Amino acid sequence: MGVAYLPVARVGELAPGARKAVDLGGRRVFVANVDGEHFAFASQCPHEATELDDAEIKGTRLRCLAHSYCFDLRTGECTIPRGGPPLTVLPVEQRDEEICVRLEW
């Protein structure tokens, strides 16, 4: 049992609308600044594993350009189509000058 805070960006590093890919535990993860709030999510769409480099983000909705599956970045819930597989999202916290993914086990 434990908690880890894994730094993924420095505060101010990502402008609103920007995103970057990081490696966490051997998996590719995106960190995105959406209107000042940071989100972290797995790099692949859970539908057909398309990489989400070009996925469209509007507000907290992410749309995969492959088949237009849409996800809520706050929860990972698939909103279009309803009941689709969820996007893997990770909790993000600011700790001092760093944006961290918080992983608890």
Q: How many residues does the chain have?
A: 105
Neighbours of 76 (CB within 10 A): 17
Which among 10-18, 31-39, 65-73, 92-100 is the span making contact with other proteins, rule CB under 8 A?
65-73
Closer residue to other proteins in complex, CB, 59/83: 83
Of 32, 69, 73, 92, which one interacts with other proteins (CB under 8 A)? 69
Neighbours of 101 (CB within 10 A): 20
Closer residue to other proteins in complex, CB, 36/40: 40
Cis peptide before 81 (omega within 30 of 0): yes
The tally of CA atoms less than 13 A away on the side-chain side of residue 31 is 26
- Asked if 1 interacts with other proteins (CB under 8 A), we say yes
Burial 3-35 (b: 16+ CB within 10 A, else e): eeebebbeeeebeeeebeebebeeeebbbbbbe
Of 6, 60, 72, 79, which one interacts with other proteins (CB under 8 A)? 6
Of 85, 93, 94, 95, which one interacts with other proteins (CB under 8 A)? 85
The residues binding other proteins (CB under 8 A) are 1-2, 4, 6, 24-27, 29, 42, 44, 46-49, 63, 65-69, 80-81, 83-86, 88, 90, 101, 103-105
